[in-house]
Amino acid sequence: MFRLAKIEDVVRIQPNRFGEDLEKVASDVLTEKYVGSLHPDLGLILAITDVKVEPVGTIIPGDGATYHRALVELIAFYPMVKEVVDGVVVDVKHIGAFVNIGPLDALVHVSQIADDRMVYHEELGVLEGEETKLRISKGDVVRGRITAVSVARPSIMKIAMTMRQPGLGKIASGASGE
């Protein structure tokens, strides 16, 4: 789910930052460029952890900046299909439960919550099993298996989960006491 990755890039250093520490400036520029962005192969980039910059850069005529090759180490979040994760239900709708599994939310479709038919009670904000009376509401801690991950450019990652297999499902209620 979380991974440490290394990438290579070229960083543009503005002339007004020439007197500063090169690696600090490069880290600032790369943090602004990458952190919070979604990359199809890396996932959601959360942080830059290390930057190694070639001290000698290239100057392009007509541009006062220097360009330096950089090796960047970063932390990214990319959930994997078949991975089992715990999360907190952050919203319940007629289509299913939205579960926070870190920096992103996943959808557990109503058909993937339990083997029972789930009924949505809008006034209570809960999904309830017709026969089992299992209730899923905001704040519940659940365990699910990731069934699909899709990355749509430039900034959308959709995650689908199931809670229907043995060992998955509701673990505990949140602070609401339900």
86-111 mean pLDDT: 96
The number of C-alpha atoms within 13 Å of 45 and in the hemisphere containing its C-beta is 24
Tokens representing 33 are: 């460029």
Q: Beta partners for 141?
A: 88, 172
**Amino acid at position 78, single letter:** Y
pLDDT of 41 higher than 90:
no
Q: Which domains does the chain have, with CATH numbers?
A: 2-77 (3.30.1490.120), 84-172 (2.40.50.140)
Contact between 100 and 155 under an 8 Å Cβ cutoff? The reply is no
What pLDDT is recorded for position 174?
55
Could you tell me the pTM of the whole model? 0.81
151-166 mean pLDDT: 87
Parallel/antiparallel/unpaired status of strands 118-121 and 169-172: unpaired
